[in-house]
Amino acid sequence: MEYRIPLIGEKFPEIEVKTTHGLMKLPEHFKGKWFVLFSHPADFTPVCTTEFIKFQEEKENFDRLGCELIGLSVDQVFSHIKWVEWIKDRMEVDITFPIIADDMGEVAKRLGMIHPNKGTNTVRAVFIVDDKGIIRLILYYPQEVGRNIKEVLRAVEALQISDKHGVAIPANWPENEMTGRKVILPPPDSVQLAEERVEKAKSGKLECFDWWFCLKSVE
């Protein structure tokens, strides 16, 4: 069966998966929570091992955002379990989040994680899904480039702040030299609102570079 890759803003497809923590139905299993589903090419590979260790090290920060983690590859459950044991024994890191064993490749195909020009294993895909089961961000990396886990964490936090305050997030936030931790107000949708912003900026009530580029603190 041919699947179309799900798109940002669409509902995450309903899938039953077998994991190192047992059978799960997605996105139902994480109902009311955000989650990050990420695929890796294979167990017992160096780059994937570094990624899993970094995801685990950042797990407390994902938890703080109410966001769960779940990995995936086309390896079998016993391989995942043995690899997790190896990481704990040799690297002294206990991987506590579940890993999907997609040994038939059906989940990977449905989510567009297998790219034929890059072989038969899953590439490094990332799906950030919100607490309503909606796909909010998708990333794809090739097998040879490991991900920046802090960027995935930053993206989750940025999306949550955008939702809560109705704002946009600057490049490199929260370490943008122009804006710092401030975020961006949506552009005005009327002449009147544009003029109001100009006046507020002049009086110091609003920080703006121009009427269409104004900042807001959310702290």
| Full-model pTM | 0.95
How far is the C-alpha of 7 from the C-alpha of 27, rounded, in Å? 15
* Confidence at residue 1, expressed as pLDDT on a 0 to 100 scale: 58
Angle at alpha carbon of residue 190, lines to 188 and 193, rounded to 5°: 60
Report pLDDT digits (tens) over 143-184: 999 999 999 999 999 999 999 999 999 999 999 999 999 999
Distances (CA, A) of 106 to 16, 51, 91, 101: 11, 23, 31, 10
Mark the ranges of the chain whose per-residue pLDDT is less than 70: 1-2
Compute, in degrees rounded to 10, the torsion defined by CA atoms 101, 105, 110, 115.
Answer: 120
Closest CA to 173 of 216, 209, 130: 216
- Pinpoint the alpha helices (H) of the chain: 46-57, 59-64, 77-91, 106-110, 149-165, 191-202
Provide the residue ranges of all domains of the chain, joining segments of one domain with +. 15-147, 166-219
Pairing of strands 99-101, 124-129: unpaired
* Confidence at residue 11, expressed as pLDDT on a 0 to 100 scale: 98
**Tokens found for residue 8:** 């940002």
- Pinpoint the alpha helices (H) of 100-216: 106-110, 149-165, 191-202
Superfamily of domain 15-147: Glutaredoxin (3.40.30.10)
Q: Which residues are catalytic?
A: 48
* Confidence at residue 2, expressed as pLDDT on a 0 to 100 scale: 63
CATH fold of 166-219, please?
Antioxidant, Horf6; Chain A, domain 2 (3.30.1020)
How far is the C-alpha of 109 from the C-alpha of 88, rounded, in Å? 30
How far is the C-alpha of 184 from the C-alpha of 169, rounded, in Å? 6
